[in-house]
Structure 1
Amino acid sequence: MLKKLRQKTSVLAIGSGTALIALVGLVGFSPKILEKIETWQQKTEIALQEDDNSPSVVLKLANASAQDRLEQLKTIALSEKPSLERSRARYILATELIKKYEGGPALRFLEGLEQEYPTLAPWILLKQGRGYELSNENDLAQETWKKLIQTYPSDPVVAEALYYLGKYDPKYWDQAISQFPNHPRTWEIINKRLKDNPKQPKLMLLLVKYNAFDPSMNAVRDRLVKDYAPELTPQDWEVIGNGYWEFGDYRKATQAYYKASRTPVNLYRYARGLHLSGQKAQAKQAYQQLVRSFPDAPETGEALMRLVGLSGSSEALGYLDYAINKFPLQAPDALLKRAELLDLLNSKQAASKARQQLLVQYPNSEAAAGYRWKIAKSYADKGDLVKAWEWAQPITINAPDTTVAAKAGFWVGKWAQKLNRPQDAKDAFLHTLARYPQSYYAWRSAVQLGWKVGDFEDVRYYAPTVVFPETRPVLPSGSQAFKELYRLGLDDEAWTLFQAEVPNPWQLTVDEQFALGIFKQKQQQFLEGINLVWDLRNRDSAAEQAQWQVLRNKPEYWQALFPFPYYDLIEGWSQQRSLNPLLVTSLIRQESRFEKEILSPVGAVGLMQVMPSTGRWIADKANITKYSLKNPDDNIKMGTWYLDYTHKEYGNNSMLAVASYNAGPGNVNQWQKKFGLSDPDVFVEKIPFKETRGYVESVFGNYWNYLRIYNAEVAQMMSNLPQQ
């Protein structure tokens, strides 16, 4: 064996020092030689440190295809001077060679690399073993994998070594199942064993417990429920219920939670599942059981609010009082609902008292802010702008984190303009921009302040410069190996390691959920990926909210919410149609979340949600003879043609064009006649279709976010704003 190792080493350029290091531990060296080796290693470690002032070329190539980056990586990998760049390039090239079953060439890049590149040392040993195996040196392969297991016994990559060793001795597969049940390689082992012998419920339970992100696991859950129900424990039923719940199969989840351990979460989900399934009477009983069994649990507060909707007025008032007195999180909504019910019962004085209690005790709540805005808007509609101002301004002071705060801040500025108070208007717009930079109203404020960011009348022709990040970000969760693999663009390996490192896939941390959202986008599942990142704002605990606040101050958070898939296609067709590519991207994000084959309930297809009938009409008008609405290029070609058409119909007013894209030209024509266009912001507020009003705000809110994130000039102006 020693002879073989020496032969392998000799093929490398000795000048790099790699061969020398590779032999340490295999043969004896004198103390002087060992001292020289240690000195060389120290110099190498210094050389391998990342230089922030010299951005990595290898990391810049992370999103390029294997073929496109091949030559640059080869040049770096074959340099004689040890460096982190060289190590990264060698690892990537070896990985690609192993994918092509070229073990010998891969080994030449991997030899001794574990000493130069400690971050990925276990992975390098794994690949060395695979390289030997592909070279038909099975003894060396097994020895290398055993060395990996011995050297890094608890590292998740050991599961990979156990998988390969198990092909020679099945005991290693038993070890993988016992030691690494949450590793994707172990799931592969389990699936192989289930294929040979399907009647193994313990293995099936391991799959549904740990393989949380795979929708195909519902079929395994179905088999467990159908064939092994008498053998399942309450804990097993909870695991099964969690899986069904996460993938939206609420009927089956309800049946599982009925047999699960009686916890507040399980009882609430059981009741909610009945509720969602239309079994209102049974749901009401289940909510009531939760209230009786766990009167202080957070889920009970939610159950009380559900019971309100399932009960008559007098009974509902009792549940509301219970929530108001015992559950501060639900109390604001309960007070507002109580006032509404009392109004219906003609108890005006009691209703007014409930609203006053809401404003006094919970001024920073969503419910209080919503009520304030409702009153402010009613005064504005009557022309009493002073009263409107008085009701709206406290929202930005007392409830700055509510969903209506940005709107209130902007309209305080608009009303100040009409009241001839220009400084107050400017202050309000600056506040909205600085405090709510991600909002649609930040864009409207920027327009009012005279920023060159495109307005409704000219945004289609605005051509902002877009600058993409040069390298991938360092993700906030996971090991250094995971973060490195992701930054190198080795997504399959990073995804495997991510799954293996998550201790509880059913209770992801804020950072883990963010990383999962990133990976879903890398897997072309943009809808789920964006939603995972967006839903972080709904975390309940104060600690989780603090983690989310830290995360949302990083550029990668916003880049994940506003990604740029298909940008080359979008840019190409936008140029042909004289459309702002950021506007097109923003409309696509709103229409489909970049899901290329998505179908709407009414039959709209693809990225720009083109109806088949509209597609045929466009094809006839544009002389398009062959197309598929599920093909991104065809869909964008036809969607931009139609968006150009709607612009031309409305004098290139993008607000009307976008509204027409959603609601149709007939409705927009009626609204234009009814409301006029003297103030486009007022027009948007008066759009009678809630969906279309929200659509317009969302599309242009998207546009503003793409602009502020990826355009250097706007980003600089935003950074110069005073801190709020």
Structure 2
Amino acid sequence: MLPPYDASANGTEKVLGLKQRGAVGLAAVALGTAIALALLQQQLLRQRPSLNSNSDLSFLRRSARFDPDPQRRREARLILVGQVVDSASQLQLLRGQGWGNPRQETLLAPISLKLEALAQAQLGQTEAAKKSWQYLFRQFPAAPPSADALYALSKPVELFKQFPAHPAALAAAVKWHQQKGGSEAGLHLARYGKRWPGAGAAMAAACKQSKQPVSAENKQLLAAGLVAQGDLAAANRCLGDKKTKLQEQVEPLSATSKAWQITRELLVKRQWAKAYNFLAQANPDKQSAPIAARSRFWMGLCAWQQGQKAEARAIWQNQLQQYPYGYYAWRASVRLGVTAPAPAQAAKSAGLLPAPLAKLESLGLHAEAWEHWRTWRLGQSAQTAADLWREGQLRLSVGDSWLGLAQLDSAALAGVASNKEQQSLLEKQRHPLSFSAELGAAARKAGIEPLLLQGVARQESRLNTTVRSPAGAVGLLQLMPATAQELAGVKLTDMELEKASLNSQLGGRYLKQMLVESKGNIFLAVASYNAGPGAAGSWQNETLQQIPELWVETIPYPETRIYVKSVLGGKFSYEQLSRLK
């Protein structure tokens, strides 16, 4: 017999079942909500703006303290270290940031430890700094910042062996030469840092060693290093009886240079049809953008001179679309009577830099990026167009505009930029507005275009205030002391002429004089600035007014021919870059 039906018991079971199912449902809802919130949090974290040296200061400070990602906290602190002046604040930011697995490749941990040790040393905390250097080398012995640790701990032998091309090793080599003499330091610098300040004296001394004379092979090495220093006389003394071979060394012309030499001869003779055919056979479509711009411009001018004006216009329009920068873009736009097309927006990042170096650059750690580059390449000179671009921009970041701009120019001529965005980025890097305040003020005072003076300064000194020419010209606009004295009305020292503001004022005044004497002809004025008004004035003829581009090619001084095109092309490129937002 079945037990009697108990309504209350059955109801309790139902209620309990509902409660259990409800609890499970609530738990599932809670779990789903938690997962959704976690996913939302991860999405929001991923959407945070990246940290870089241009980030808002208040955002960097918040990130340094409160960001949930310890890596981002460290990045923010490293950026802030470069933006604060006093060492005590730097040390506070850097404490506890040297974490990382020594067995794995670590980029920022050893840099943090290095900067901490430097801040301690600056504050006079000698013993603490020593311990920090020791800890850095012990934890990260293969990381480039450990080279600085070896230098600080006075271990030059280990430094030369482990980090031979690191700037710390090159500085240690100069110090070694000054304190101990011998040939070791000079040979090390000839192999890994022949352009390093102080390397010239060490290499010259190594050549003259009598106790342990260097081999003939090493003398060749030292002589090459002295040539890189610009001391041909010392290089010849080093080689002794082989000096005539050194003096006769001439770099052979490239195929592109030979082709342009032939083209120029045809143009100067006004053999328009032959020049056009020769340029067409070279196929501009296969040339780098700057070389193709030159070919297309002259093909257009050759067509124009033969009465084929529609073809000339089509060639120039195509040229401007392909490469809207430089001297030939300016001349094509003048010939067409149009404004050159606005250039494409510059790529946001260099692209060609290895990821670790791009990271350091973005954080404002420019010296660290340069030291890593030199260490990884063992001081090997950049040869490929890509490496020239990489090294050029790294040199600019650490203030070496002399070699940096030269390398970027070479990279551009080789066609390293593969698209228009990269073209704009490279042109922007090649035309920095260094000293624009001083140059702009001087230009306005003299009544000339600021970007013209900027272009002159870029060509004269590569925007370097301390460079001096073999002839004795000094400073940003490479003024001869006698010319500067005439312009200023008083005798000036070379140190005074190295000041950007004074050099800019005198250079602007001199360029204005050249413009006045040239009756406003910018070609003749720029040529006069380089070759002198007497020489340039003797070159005037009808071609200057009728075909100024051809007049430039008839200038008898090769240096002045290149100079005029570089200055005026630079001015135009600066104007184009000013259109980029």
- TM-score, with normalisation over the residues of structure 2? 0.73
Q: How large is the Cα RMSD of the aligned pairs?
A: 5.0
Note if contact 1:369-1:405 (Cα within 8 Å) is conserved in structure 2. Answer: no
State how 1:244-263 maps to structure 2 within 5 Å: 244-250=226-232, 252-253=234-235
The CA distance in 1 between the partners of 2:540 and 2:405, in whole Å, is 34
Equivalent residue for 1:378, pick from 269, 282, 296:
269
Q: Does 1:277 align with 2:152?
A: no
Q: Does 1:102 align with 2:102?
A: no
Report deviation, 1:523: 5.1
Note if contact 2:487-2:509 (Cα within 8 Å) is conserved in structure 1. Answer: yes
**Paired position in structure 2 for 1:156:** 144
| 1:535-567 Cα shifts (integer Å, max 9, x gaps) | 4579xxxxxx68686999454433343222111
| 1:598-645 Cα shifts (integer Å, max 9, x gaps) | 44455544323344454445446xxx9999433221221222233334
The CA distance in 1 between the partners of 2:435 and 2:500, in whole Å, is 8
**Paired position in structure 2 for 1:433:** 320
Note if contact 1:149-1:161 (Cα within 8 Å) is conserved in structure 2. Answer: yes
Q: Secondary structure of 1:485's partner?
A: helix
Q: Aligned AA for 1:60?
A: N
**Paired position in structure 2 for 1:226:** 208
Report deviation, 1:276: 4.5
**Paired position in structure 2 for 1:633:** 501
Q: Secondary structure of 1:595's partner?
A: coil
Higher RCO structure (Cα 8 Å, ≥6 apart): 2
* Change over 3 Å in CA distance of 1:667–1:122 after alignment to 2: closer
Q: Aligned AA for 2:228?
A: E
| 1:353-409 Cα shifts (integer Å, max 9, x gaps) | xxxxxxxxxxx86535543553455354xxxx5566445543445984699764453
* Change over 3 Å in CA distance of 1:548–1:230 after alignment to 2: farther
Report deviation, 1:453: 5.7
Of the structure 1 ranges 680-689 and 219-228, higher mean CA displacement relative to structure 2 is found in 680-689
**Paired position in structure 1 for 2:76:** 89
The CA distance in 1 between the partners of 2:46 and 2:220, in whole Å, is 47
**Paired position in structure 2 for 1:423:** 310
State how 1:466-505 maps to structure 2 within 5 Å: 473-474=349-350, 476-477=352-353, 480=356, 482-505=357-380
Q: Secondary structure of 2:443's partner?
A: helix
| 1:685-709 Cα shifts (integer Å, max 9, x gaps) | 5556655444332221112222334
* Change over 3 Å in CA distance of 1:379–1:575 after alignment to 2: closer
The CA distance in 2 between the partners of 1:509 and 1:676, in whole Å, is 38
Equivalent residue for 2:281, pick from 385, 394, 419:
394
The CA distance in 1 between the partners of 2:219 and 2:192, in whole Å, is 14
Q: Does 1:367 align with 2:353?
A: no
**Paired position in structure 2 for 1:355:** none
Q: Aligned AA for 1:111?
A: G
Q: Aligned AA for 1:180?
A: F
The CA distance in 2 between the partners of 1:154 and 1:488, in whole Å, is 22
State how 1:46-85 maps to structure 2 within 5 Å: 54=49, 56=51, 58-60=52-54, 74=61, 77-79=64-66, 82=69
Q: Does 1:677 align with 2:545?
A: yes
Note if contact 2:487-2:506 (Cα within 8 Å) is conserved in structure 1. Answer: yes
Q: Secondary structure of 1:102's partner?
A: helix
Q: Secondary structure of 2:573's partner?
A: helix
Note if contact 2:385-2:416 (Cα within 8 Å) is conserved in structure 1. Answer: yes
**Paired position in structure 2 for 1:183:** 166
Q: Aligned AA for 2:198?
A: S
* Change over 3 Å in CA distance of 1:240–1:548 after alignment to 2: farther
* Change over 3 Å in CA distance of 1:222–1:592 after alignment to 2: closer
- TM-score, with normalisation over the residues of structure 1? 0.60
Note if contact 1:607-1:636 (Cα within 8 Å) is conserved in structure 2. Answer: yes
The CA distance in 1 between the partners of 2:438 and 2:125, in whole Å, is 47
Note if contact 2:456-2:567 (Cα within 8 Å) is conserved in structure 1. Answer: yes
**Paired position in structure 1 for 2:461:** 592
Q: Does 1:121 align with 2:101?
A: no
Structure showing greater Rg: 2
* Change over 3 Å in CA distance of 1:119–1:673 after alignment to 2: closer
The CA distance in 2 between the partners of 1:708 and 1:77, in whole Å, is 39
Note if contact 2:443-2:449 (Cα within 8 Å) is conserved in structure 1. Answer: yes
The CA distance in 1 between the partners of 2:517 and 2:182, in whole Å, is 65
Note if contact 1:586-1:699 (Cα within 8 Å) is conserved in structure 2. Answer: yes
The CA distance in 1 between the partners of 2:295 and 2:112, in whole Å, is 56
The CA distance in 2 between the partners of 1:663 and 1:47, in whole Å, is 62
Note if contact 1:212-1:506 (Cα within 8 Å) is conserved in structure 2. Answer: no
State how 1:631-670 maps to structure 2 within 5 Å: 631-650=499-518, 652-663=520-531
The CA distance in 1 between the partners of 2:535 and 2:172, in whole Å, is 58
The CA distance in 2 between the partners of 1:238 and 1:226, in whole Å, is 13
Note if contact 1:534-1:561 (Cα within 8 Å) is conserved in structure 2. Answer: yes
Q: Aligned AA for 1:274?
A: T
The CA distance in 2 between the partners of 1:136 and 1:613, in whole Å, is 47
Report deviation, 1:655: 3.1
